[in-house]
Structure 1
Amino acid sequence: MKTMIHTLAYTALLSIALSSCNDDNAPILTQKDWDNTATYFKPTDENMFGTYYKPQLGYVGDPMPFYDPQAGDFKIMYLQEYRPNQTTYHPFWAVSTKNGGSYTSLGELIPTGTEDEPDAALGTGCIFYDETNKVYYTYYTGHTADTEVVMRATSTDFKTWNKDRTFFLLGSNDGYSRKDFRDPFIFESESGKYHMIVSTKKDGIGVLAEYTSTDLKAWKHSGVFMPMHWGADRFYECADVFKMGDWWYLVYSDQNAVSRKVCYFKGSTLEELKQMTAAPTFPDNKEGVLDSRAFYAGKTASNGTDRYIWGWCPTRAGNDNTAVGAAPAEPEWAGNLVMHKIIQHEDGTLSLGSVDGILNKYTNNTTLKVMAQSETGVAESNDNYMLSGDAYVLFNRLNVHNKLTFTVTASSNEDIFGISLARGTDSKKYYSLIINPEDNNSNRKINFEQKGKEGIGFIAGIDGYKFPVPADNIYHVTICTDNSVCTVYINDNVAYTNRIYGIQKNCWSLDSYEGSIQVSNIKVSYY
């Protein structure tokens, strides 16, 4: 009799547990019929991200990538951001990677100074390896409330770093701002001379100051490297100079609240590059913009074959996808480490593309299943979908880390289409990336919108840049997601980064808003 009572009690508890699986807002640990439900589920990010690195505690600020010829890997120092920070803050932590697919933490490498020292807080810098003497140099920013100064540390093994307390570059000694003098970057010119550029101001206007050296130790002031092409409200951070093929490039982050994006200039020679900001002469029809406002402080490194760029994707206050920090506000500072490949086109223009080491991680294939669709405007044939007018097709749930690839063939330049994420059949709000016609349909741009009955529509401050309509009207799209971080690539010519909470374990849709499109080669994979 006692056994029967226990069995009945267990059965009742099991019934309660199973019935709770129908609650789409249940915690992620409950048993849920993921395959056969399509209502919205409220997930949370994993503490550790699998692709777009975030430390277990804190966040990634301004990355400083470097290819280590001794170890044959990329090492990325970054400003370790805590919330809240201590009185002394932003020590240099680091990770290493072979291909960008995964990272190994190297821990803290360069600590802050004390409250009374010029590097009470650390700011962005760079790493350079002296092959002759087998010494690693890190030049970095020492920051206090009223002064910024360039400092350095050295190492012979990239593990133990020694600060040189005899070396300081103070901008006010050379006619530059005392308070804004930061982000030193070193490159070697074709003459063999070493150049250091520093982001600063002269007479209240942003400039890049130049210093030169023959031994990486003693530096001589050489004047203004480049003037800024806008007035006192612009300041170029995290500058990076490199030669790729026949072209010289400057990559920088525009601190202005309206722009706040990673951009570039190009020149056929180093001297020509220096003149590009004076007019200015933009390198392409998108004013040199490389990504959205969700990718900042981008700096590059090359292994001699390929060049990559690392920046940080900001978090959103309150996990609110609409809290993007549109001007005059700014996004939250720091987040996840995002990596793109730099693609150089025949005319020397640059775009950002996907990284093979990341793409190759998504090895498990998802079987596509239609969960819902609009009453009209959808036709399917051999796994290809024709969408016309205001139509959508909703697919089964994504995993936590996803890769989506598909091809869109538009019928005209006027078609409006996109993809929606964090969507369920009961969603009153969801989030859409819309490929929108611009400039009398000669260009397109990725817009971010909150759709649904309670959606606010267009979200200012996180749209992409304009790009030409493909001549054949075909868009090859790749989307990689890791928890809430999302990167989008189109035709090796467009890159777009965003943070969208709620992607994982929810459905997604392909959407048509006007005109008609054909979507083919749809593949979803995960790891």
Structure 2
Amino acid sequence: MKGNYNIFYTPEKQYPGMPHGEMCGDFMPFYWQGTYYLFYLYKYCVYAVETTDFVSFGQPFLVLRNGSPDDQDWHIGTGSVFAHDGLFLFHYTGFCEGNQDADGKNEQVVMRATSRDLKHWEKDTDFYFRPDTRYYGNLHWRDPHVIWNEELGKFCMLITATQKEGACLRTGCTAVYVSADVRNWEHYKTLYAPRTFITHECHDCFRMGDKWYLTFSNYSRWWETRYRVADSFDGPWEVPEQDDMFDGREFYAAKSVTDGNKRYMVGWESIREDCRDSGRHLWGGNLLVHELVPRKDGRLGVRLPETIRQSFGKVLPIETVPMQGSFREDTEGITGDVPDGFGWAALGSLEETCLFRTTISWKEGTEAVGLMIHADAALEKWCQLRLEVRHGKILMDRYNRVDGDQSYQDERPVTFHENKAEITLVVSGNIMLVYVDDVALTSRCYEIGTGTVGIFAEYGSVRCTQTQLLEQETAEKPMGKN
């Protein structure tokens, strides 16, 4: 159950007590000529891995090595890659914690490297962008994200910054600088400053259809990636109605990438301390990719990338085994009636990595329906995807949240339509990724082995149709160019 090398990429197996530097995070995706180059932070340096489908990955390679404790890039932080005039440019953050409060020095500085082939990079020692204290504070100055802005006809660099004055831990803002040649940058404006968060990390900004979207992550409450919507780049930027996140509270530092047709959010799923369910969330984890789905009202949903879905082609057997309550099977599906409480039926055995999908519906007045995941017959151990239909939300629950373990549940608000939802569940190792229509919720369960997948209902009736349990066609591959 440790480590996920297929789909949920990580450069090495997870293990209890793994230190911060051994985890990977802050993926910086870049698409070029049919290949996604996923740059990421690892061991205080920048590495990259290639993929064409988010299913199989090449060997990771070193992109930028960190400097000495006296160098500005003693630790290297997040940035972005783009192409201009036959050259690839990587703007990144140079961290030197020893510089904080030192005269004439800065803890965080925007730096740059260049490449001709995306493999071999050279640091540009002439580029050194200090915090612009005319407009912003002197500490947070990182995560440069460069885009070509057709609306302005200029390159834009978004920077994680803070306002010079404001309430404690509420000065986070998005600074924008513009350039005509990507060499000389001038201040444009403070794009977004809601006086809500410590910082807005790992920005992205892009246009889909007739809307602009600004994405950022923050650690004020949880690990979380949020977004805002506007009709133009200059705003005003509005909070989407009902929900402004792409996944739950463990999906962080997501940036987008497009192949010119589809756009994906590429982030990481946080691990827990010592790989325990009761452990606190830590920085870094496994790659997690969602395909963006624009909604008619301008909000964004997500779905499983088609290439990942297509990798599951081996059909596994499904057999309805009622465990509690009244469940029956017919030629079109499975129906369960449990008017007096909880009931469930087992449907099949989960493999280490597999996909389960079904269309689930319920009668009006039903309290909750959903999936039992990694369950055993006695329900001594289990995970549960709950569609709390009367409360308009989905959540992931697990068996051992009693007495001394009262950690929170992972949940998302959902608008249910016509008492029906399409569910896709991907399990791989300790990761459980689920889509309910176009709403994602990813979680982990460390202290449990593989088990059964099933359906349940509470105080009502449930029906499942078009149900499939699938495994990938080939066994888990070792890391390497496949």
Superposed pair shares fold, TM > 0.5: yes
| Bigger fraction of residues in strand | 2
- Residues 93 and 110 of structure 1 are in contact (CA less than 8 Å); yes or no, is this contact kept in structure 2? yes
What displacement does 1:250 show?
0.2
Choose the corresponding residue for 1:354, options 304, 309, 312.
Answer: 304
- Hey, what's the Cα distance between the residues in 2 that align with 1:483 and 1:383? 31
Q: Which digits, 9 at most, give the CA deviation of each residue in 1:121-176, with x for residues without a partner?
A: 0111000111xx21000000111212111000000111110101121111154342
Partner of 2:471: 526
Q: 1:337 is matched with which residue: 284, 287, 307?
A: 287
- Superposed CA deviations along residues 304-343 of structure 1, whole A, max 9, x for unmatched, are 11100111111122332343x4xxxxx1111100111011
1:249 aligns with 2:199: no
Give 3-state SS (helix, strand or coil) of 2:298's partner. coil
Match in the other structure for 2:480: none
Whether the 8 Å contact between 1:478 and 1:490 is mirrored in structure 2 is yes
Structure 1: distance between partners of 2:365 and 2:175: 45
Query: Which residue number in structure 2 is paired with residue 381 of structure 1?
Result: 330
Deviation for aligned residue 1:373: 1.1
2:371 maps to 1:405 = no
- Are residue 141 (structure 1) and residue 105 (structure 2) matched? no
SS at match of 1:515: strand
Query: 1:345 deviation in Å?
Result: 1.5
Q: Give how far 1:271 is off.
A: 1.8
Report the structure number with the largest CA radius of gyration: 1
What letter corresponds to residue 368 of structure 1 in structure 2?
Answer: I
Higher alpha-carbon deviation: 392-401 or 236-245:
392-401
Does structure 2 retain, via aligned residues, the 8 Å contact 1:354–1:489?
yes
Matched-pair contact (CA < 8 Å) for 1:413–1:469:
no
Aligned residues: 447
Cα distance in 1 for residues equivalent to 2:471 and 2:272: 25
Q: 1:270 aligns with which of 233, 244, 249?
A: 233
C-alpha distance after superposition, 1:243-294 (max 9, x if no partner): 111111101112212x43211111111122xx22xxxx322222x1221012
Read off the aligned partner of 2:419 and give its amino acid letter. Answer: N
1:79 maps to 2:41: yes
Deviation larger for 499-508 or 378-387: 499-508
Q: Displacement, 1:424?
A: 1.1
Are the equivalent residues in 2 in contact too, given 1:321–1:500 (CA < 8 A)?
Answer: yes
Residue 468 of structure 1 and its aligned partner are, at CA, apart by 1.3
How much has 1:505 moved relative to structure 2? 3.5
Residues 450 and 456 of structure 1 are in contact (CA less than 8 Å); yes or no, is this contact kept in structure 2?
A: no
Cα separation, 2, equivalents of 1:192 and 1:152: 22
1:97 to 1:188, Cα distance in 2 relative to 1, 3 A? same
What is the aligned partner in structure 1 of residue 139 from structure 2?
179
* Residue 192 (structure 1) aligns with: 153
The 5 Å alignment of 1:310-459 reads: 310-323=266-279, 325=280, 331-370=281-320, 373-374=323-324, 376-382=325-331, 384-389=333-338, 390-412=342-364, 414-437=366-389, 441=390, 444-451=392-399, 455=402
**TM-score normalised over the length of structure 2:** 0.88
Structure 1 gap segments, 5+ residues each: 1-43, 82-89, 326-330
Please state how far the C-alpha of 1:72 moved relative to its aligned partner. 2.0
- 2:162: which partner in 1? 201
Deviation at 1:434, TM superposition (A): 0.9
Q: 1:384 to 1:321 in 2, by over 3 A?
A: farther
Alignment of 1:218-237 (within 5 A): 218-230=184-196, 233-237=197-201
1:261 aligned residue (216, 220, 224): 224
1:217 corresponds to which of 167, 170, 183? 183
Structure 2 match to 1:18: none
- CA 172–262 in structure 1, closer or farther in 2 if over 3 Å, else same: same
Question: Could you say what secondary structure the match of 2:385 adopts?
Answer: strand
TM-score w.r.t. structure 1 length? 0.80
Answer yes or no: is the 8 Å Cα contact 1:449–1:459 preserved in 2. Answer: no
SS of residue in 1 equivalent to 2:201: strand
Alpha-carbon shift at residue 201 of structure 1 (Å): 0.8
Rounded to whole Å, the distance in 2 between the matches of 1:104 and 1:404 is 27
Contact persistence 2:276–2:447 (CA under 8 A): no
2:239 alignment partner in structure 1: 282
TM-aligned CA deviation for residue 223 of structure 1: 3.3
Decide whether the 8 Å contact of 1:52 with 1:336 is kept in 2.
yes
Counterparts of 2:378 and 2:67 in 1: how far apart (Å)?
A: 53
Q: Secondary structure at the match of 1:357?
A: helix
Q: Is the 8 A contact 1:294 1:462 kept in 2?
A: no
Matched, 1:498 2:443: yes
Alignment equivalent of 2:410, drawn from 453, 457, 463: 463
% same residue: 24
Q: CA deviation at 1:460?
A: 5.0
CA contact (8 A) 1:294 1:499 kept: no
- Find the partner of 1:515 among 460, 465, 475: 460
Quick one: which amino acid aligns to residue 118 of structure 1?
A: Q
**1:91-110 to 2 correspondence within 5 Å?**
91-110=45-64
Matched, 1:60 2:24: yes
Asked whether the 8 Å contact 2:323–2:377 carries over to 1, the reply is no
Cα separation, 2, equivalents of 1:444 and 1:60: 34
Tell me, yes or no, if the aligned pair for 1:398 and 1:504 is still in contact at 8 Å.
Answer: no
Aligned to 2:117: 157
Contact 2:191-2:234 within 8 A present in 1 as well: no
Are the equivalent residues in 2 in contact too, given 1:49–1:483 (CA < 8 A)? Answer: no
SS state of the match for residue 521, structure 1?
strand
Distance 1:300 1:78, change over 3 A: same
